[in-house]
Amino acid sequence: MLSPGDPAPDFDLQGTADGGVGAYRLSAATNRAPAVVAFLPDDDPESRTVLTELAQTDWASVSDAVAVFGVLPAGIDDCRSLAAALSLPYPLLADTHGVATQFGVRKQDGSVQRATFVVDKRCRVRAATVFDDTDGTTSALDKVLRCLAEL
């Protein structure tokens, strides 16, 4: 898994955009603001909890602007369906290019670890957090918020 100080791999992925589909590039987002990139294994209750917590987080309390991305190893239609079901205010990206592997969150069995990265304006990882289970969601997000407040 990438560590603080590592360069974040740039990506171009399709994602949800106001009910439609858009293209998202990490470096373009971080040119304007730091980014929070959350990798989730699939549409399961634990992943839904993390996505909902990200949606309910008051990002403005720690930074003027923050780009938030959820990343799933799924097709764009599955991402659109899940984003609509959860009314996500941020894009849910379809990882069809192995970005999870580049960030080091793909497990030996091929599944994806629940993890969140804070990426700064220089496209460097500032924090990497693993969500072990839904009970750890709040403390993991606290670490993300603390990191953003320090930028």
Return mean pLDDT, the chain. 92
- H/E stretch holding 45 reads helix 45-56
Question: Would you give the DSSP letter of residue 23?
Answer: E
| Contact assessment for residue 62 and residue 27, using Cβ atoms and an 8 Å cutoff | no
pLDDT, tens digit, 9 for 90 and up, residues 35-90: 999 999 988 888 999 999 999 999 999 888 999 999 999 999 999 999 999 999 99
Question: Which CATH entry fits the domain spanning 12-150: 3.40.220.10, 3.40.190.10, 3.40.30.10, 3.90.550.60?
Answer: 3.40.30.10
Alpha-carbon dihedral angle through residues 77, 82, 84, 86, given to the nearest 10 degrees: -170
Residue 42: what pLDDT?
85
Return the number of other C-beta atoms located less than 10 Å from residue 114's C-beta. 24
Residue 63: what pLDDT?
87
Instruction: State the average pLDDT over residues 120-144.
Output: 79
pTM: predicted TM-score of the whole model, two decimal places: 0.93
pLDDT, tens digit, 9 for 90 and up, residues 25-43: 999 999 999 999 999 998 8
Residue 117 has pLDDT above 90, yes or no: yes
